[in-house]
Amino acid sequence: MAQVTRDVQQAAEWLRRGELVAIPTETVYGLACNGLNEKAVGQIFQAKSRPSTNPLILHVPHLGAVQGLVRDLPPLARVLMERFWPGPLTLLLDRAPGVPDAVTAGLPRVAVRMPDHPLTLALLAALDFPLAAPSANRSGYVSPTTAEHVKAQLGDRITGILDGGPCAQGLESTVVAVEGGADGRDEVVVYRLGAVPVEALRAFLDGLPGSPVLRLHTAVGTAPPSAAAPLAAPGLLSMHYSPLTRLLLVDAWDDPQLAAQLAALPPGARVGWLGFTDLPPAARPGAPSRLLSPTGDLGEAARHLYGALIALDGTGCDLLVAHRLPPHDLGAVMNERLTRAAARHA
């Protein structure tokens, strides 16, 4: 069983030996290894049962550490790093020859970011290699936001867990690339929605000379789980973040679809409820339920989302019902995650 520790030097020693260690970030816990050690990288895919077509993110301690991993750094990419790092923004860049094919699924670009967590930044500073680190969960399941979540899912498959407490933001990083647009202007293309909302990116870009274009990539969240071709970026699978219990996503508690689903359940069936600020009248007293933010704070809701899904999934319910959040800012990101979470049983 994985050893849980807060000792950065112990975690660094495991990683130097080519072993797997779960690490805390501000987004979710990551399953880390030496990102330049192809054998160690392969163990990540094995431990997670992750398709080898789904590329990984390399984590670095500072902007300067990117230089040896990429062929060049476009000026706009540097500007984005200077504004949003350390933080939950991942950039796709042309990779240098030393980056293993396993990290990029054999594609010419590598995903890099600088996480915003003191323990992991200290760990990265103690190492002379970047850390490849997808979320520390079984592939397709809900991402972990505490060391306990990691231990429950991967504790028998990895060496250690660096316990940094609950994740401060609770949603994966936003993945973007700087690409040339048809009109000659730079475009910032969003490949995965995440903890840096589209609104924050657009507001920043609008303040730059030339107002670079922001657009969503057409493949965001559309790739089937069995996709045989390498995915252009982490986060493109249509089914992900999914509890094992069937999840129904509704726009309103009085949604006719919900009433029909409840009426179709067998007698004695148990229903769990996930609300933003309130629960429906149909939620019986004592029924498993979670509120993401009674005060309507989207940041608080994001911190609680995955933990709530994991907790409800463990209650033995026959059906989980989640209410969509307001369709803007982090609410739009959480709605996208819930849509993919519901796809397992769609």
The tens digit of pLDDT for each residue in 140-177 reads: 999 999 999 999 999 999 999 999 999 999 999 999 99
Contact 236, 222 (CB under 8 A): yes
Is the per-residue pLDDT at 231 higher than 80?
Answer: yes
Contact 327, 298 (CB under 8 A): no
Contact 312, 272 (CB under 8 A): yes
Is the per-residue pLDDT at 287 higher than 80?
Answer: yes
β strands within the chain, DSSP E: 3-5, 21-23, 30-34, 57-59, 89-94, 109-113, 131-132, 160-162, 174-180, 186-192, 213-216, 247-250, 271-275, 289-291, 319-323
Which of the residue ranges 30-34, 185-189, 218-222 has the most confident prediction, judged by mean pLDDT?
A: 30-34
Q: What's the token pair of residue 16?
A: 């130097």
Average pLDDT, the chain: 95
CA-to-CA separations, 271 to 55, 284, 327, 334, 341, in angstroms, rounded: 36, 9, 25, 21, 17
* Over residues 171-195, mean pLDDT: 92
β strands within 170-315, DSSP E: 174-180, 186-192, 213-216, 247-250, 271-275, 289-291
CA torsion sign for 9, 11, 14, 16 is negative
**Strands of 213-216's sheet in order across:** 3-5, 160-162, 21-23, 30-34, 131-132, 57-59, 109-113, 89-94, 174-180, 186-192, 213-216
pTM of the model: 0.96
Residue 324, number of CB atoms within 10 A of its CB? 17
* Confidence at residue 284, expressed as pLDDT on a 0 to 100 scale: 82
Q: Which residues pair with 161 in a beta bridge?
A: 4, 22
* Confidence at residue 224, expressed as pLDDT on a 0 to 100 scale: 75
Is the per-residue pLDDT at 228 higher than 80?
Answer: no
Contact 11, 23 (CB under 8 A): yes
Measured in whole angstroms, the distance separating CA 233 from the mean position of its chain's CA atoms is 12
Say how far apart CA 115 and CA 120 lie, in whole Å. 7
Q: Which of 15-19, 76-80, 180-184 has the lowest mean pLDDT?
A: 180-184
Q: State what percent of residues in the chain have pLDDT above 90.
A: 88
Q: Please return the burial class of 90, using the count of CB atoms within 10 Å of its CB with bins 0-12, 13-18 and 19+.
A: buried
**Cis peptide bond prior to 86, omega within 30° of 0:** yes
Instruction: Count CA within 13 A, CB hemisphere, residue 85.
Output: 22
Is the per-residue pLDDT at 12 higher than 70?
Answer: yes
The tens digit of pLDDT for each residue in 29-50 reads: 999 999 999 999 999 999 999 9
* Confidence at residue 221, expressed as pLDDT on a 0 to 100 scale: 72
286 Cβ neighbours under 8 A, 6+ residues apart: none
Q: What's the token pair of residue 39?
A: 């054998």
* Over residues 41-68, mean pLDDT: 97
* Confidence at residue 219, expressed as pLDDT on a 0 to 100 scale: 77
In single-letter form, the type of residue at position 271 comes to V
The tens digit of pLDDT for each residue in 317-344 reads: 999 999 999 999 999 999 999 999 999 8
Is the per-residue pLDDT at 226 higher than 70?
Answer: no
